[in-house]
Chain A
Amino acid sequence: MKRWGRAQRLVHGCARAVLTLALTIVGLLLVTFLIQRAAPIDPVLRVVGDHASPEAYKAAKHELGLDRPLYVQFGRYLGDVAKGNLGKSTSTGRAVSEDLREYFPATLELSTVAIVLGVLLGIPLGLWAAHQHDRWVDQLVRVISLFGYSVPVFWLGLMGLLLFYAKLHWVAGPGRIDDVWQYTLQAHSHLLLIDTAMDHEWAAMRNAIAHLALPAALLAYFSTAYIARMTRAFALEELGKEYVLTARVKGANEARILWRHVLPNVAAPLVTVISLSYVTLLEGAVLTESVFSWPGIGLYITNALFSADLAAVLGGTLLIGFCFVGLNTLSDQIGYWLDPRVR
């Protein structure tokens, strides 16, 4: 009986999450739709040119469905997006969805490497800082995170390029890979680390890593700063609780207390923090990619902006928005699953 009740609640919770997700996504689409309609760029003139006769203009407008009421247009837009049709990019001359398939993996690769590094560094650092409250490690974490919150990412990237690329020659310069391999590599997944490994192109892989190292380290710094600060705050709260005292009294060593007792208890909010940090990386891509000429979605959006290619800008915006919403929902569910207290 009790188990049945739990299952019912779980289904209920999932249904609620799906509904919220759907509403948010429709809201997202409404915003991009309205932006598109509010734009001073006349989509009809784009088709017929500046010198079209009024009849041709009217016909083209009808053809595009722009003479229908707004809600009909919005319905059509929803249908198009559902089918994966995000319009045609005027700057690349291809379908936006096709472009995104090519550009997005570059961003994904960069931010995934960064978030993995951020988690691996940030969580131990945060736990350590909480354990050494008000000692030097704690101060260090405070300074690292304060700097991370305050420094402009594009500037730090430029300074990194200056130091590690131009002066020290430790890493490769802007771009994703050297021109030598640019056109010869087989694109299986558009993730260079995976593509090169699949074809056993080890030299190309080393080159890709050399290009990836600096931007990934830069972004990893920002996620480390954020994750360490939050881990520290969560862990500090837990360390004051009685079960920690009990564990200490029973003679458990500090490392065990931190990793086996405290960490599982802060896991749920940490998942939210990590997912938030991950989407921030996807978004932060806009500036980082501009600095490192990294051919990802951020560079795609900024390039499109300058050629007034609204379909491409909004397509990219929408994709990042979807990632945002999707990851948030996912992390809520994982947190729910990790923490029996909120079930």
Chain B
Amino acid sequence: MTLHAWLIDDAPASAWQAQCGGYYRGLRRAMRSPSTVFGIVSVLGIVLIALLAPWLGRVDPNAQDILARLQPASAQHWLGTDQLGRDLWSRLIFGTRPTLLIVVLVALLSAPMGLVVGICSGYFGGWVSAVLMRITDVFMAFPRLVLALAFVAVLGPGIVNAVLAITITAWPPYARLARTETLAIRNSEFIHAARVAGIPTWRILLGHVLPLCIPSTVIRVTLDMAGVILTAAGLGFLGLGAQPPLAEWGAMVAAGRQFIFDQWWVAAVPGAAILLGSLAFNLLGDGLRDVLDPKNA
């Protein structure tokens, strides 16, 4: 039996096979849409570029050459050079690293935070829910970028602080989502059965409630990653994210801003990279929603 036949078997022999089959069908459905394929390929491409940066980058992204500053594209510098004569191609390639680092860290910090708050609020109800949801609403009520700015103002600029600031503003939607999912299953038979069987609450939450909240959260996080890239680039552009000489796309646009009218490519190139990165995550998120969300099937 081939893998394909095993996956699309109409009568799966185990829950594991049925689940794999479900994902496989979803993946095949998603692969029919060219935009999803583009999203998947681009995100994978960005990850690969980040991993292979030292080989793709050709030269040190921070190597300055004052005599060759603000050069247009040439055989030696594929995308030209910036105001310090650094190779833009290399900086662009190495720029995938801080961007991905921020995206991954924000996802790893904010999703669990939102899940904990949302699941507890949904499962326990009562005043726990009231207090947690009010806190969530307050953070939802704050405009994201401005709140992130205020936090950076206190914490000081830098990548780690940018991650913290974005995380603080990113978790509330996940909490809302997890709460809705939890409320929907809180009174179902299997939860009651687990409770009667004497399974401790924390194990019910971890083993029964959490897995059911994961798919919707994953979709939402992926869709939000596009926004995180934009916010991180925005902080970088304002000089509050990654600090020089680190190659970061937002900061690169800010540096190129002074020469926008004469050497426009210095700002245009990293900006296009930000656009591509966030576009990739948007398309991937749309595709994931089609696969994982049964409502859209």
User: Is the A/B pair a real complex?
Assistant: yes
Contact present for A27 and B234 (CB under 8 Å): no
| Contact of A152 with B279 in the complex, beta carbons under 8 Å | no
Contact A321 B226 (CB under 8 A): no
A41, closest chain B residue (CB): B154
What residues of A have a CB within 8 angstroms of the CB of B134 in the complex?
23-24, 27
* Known contacts A35-B154, A38-B154, A146-B282; A158/B260 CB under 8 A: yes
In Å, the complex CA distance between A152 and B147 comes to 18
B141 touches A325 (CB 8 A): yes
Q: Does B240 contact A (CB under 8 A)?
A: yes
Check B146 for interface membership: any CB of A closer than 8 A.
yes
Task: Tell me the smallest distance from the CB of B117 to a CB of chain A, in Å.
Answer: 15
- Whether A265 is near chain B, meaning CB under 8 Å from some CB there, is no
Are B154 and A39 in contact, with the CB atoms below 8 A?
yes
User: What is the CA–CA distance of A301 and B149 in the complex, to the nearest angstrom?
Assistant: 9
Pairwise interchain contact B274-A324, C-beta atoms closer than 8 A:
no
Is A31 a contact partner of B142 (Cβ separation < 8 A)? yes
Interface hits, A245-294 → B, CB 8 Å: 279-280, 282-284, 286-287, 290-291
Residues in A with CB closer than 8 Å to B278 are: 149-152
B268 touches A159 (CB 8 A): yes
- Known contacts being A31-B138, A162-B261, is A152 close to B145, with CB within 8 Å? no
**Chain A residues with Cβ under 8 A from B151's Cβ?**
35
Task: Report the interface size class on chain B.
Answer: 35 or more
CB-nearest residue of chain B to A37: B154
B135 near A27 (CB under 8 angstroms)? yes
Given contacts A35-B150, A158-B260, contact A149 B145 (CB under 8 A): no
Q: Given the interface contacts A28-B138, A150-B226, A310-B153, does A287 sit within 8 Å of B261 by beta carbon?
A: no
Q: Is B186 an interface residue (CB 8 A)?
A: no
Q: How many residues of A contact B (CB 8 A)?
A: 51
Pairwise interchain contact B145-A317, C-beta atoms closer than 8 A: no
> Would you call B31 an interface residue if the criterion is a C-beta within 8 Å of the partner chain's C-beta atoms?
no
Give chain A nearest CB distance to B269 CB in angstroms: 10
B271/A320 in contact, CB under 8 A: no
Inter-chain contact A317/B275, CB cutoff 8 Å: no
Question: Once the chains bind, are B154 and A40 in contact (CB under 8 Å)?
Answer: yes
Interface check B237, CB cutoff 8 A: yes
Q: Does any Cβ of A come within 8 Å of B233's Cβ?
A: yes
Distance in Å from the Cβ of A75 to the closest Cβ of chain B?
18
Q: Which residues of B contact A (CB under 8 A)?
A: 134-135, 137-139, 141-147, 149-154, 156, 226, 230, 233-234, 237-240, 250, 253, 257, 260-261, 264, 267-268, 271-272, 274-275, 278-279, 282-283
Partner-B contacts on A (CB < 8 A): 20, 23-24, 27-28, 30-32, 35, 38-40, 146-147, 149-156, 158-159, 161-162, 166, 279-280, 282-284, 286-287, 290-291, 301-302, 305-306, 308, 310, 313-314, 316-317, 320-321, 324-325, 328
- Sample of 16 more A-B contacts, CB < 8 Å, known A40-B156, A154-B253, A287-B237: A149-B278, A150-B226, A150-B279, A151-B278, A154-B250, A155-B271, A155-B272, A155-B275, A290-B238, A302-B238, A310-B154, A317-B146, A320-B146, A324-B143, A325-B141, A328-B141
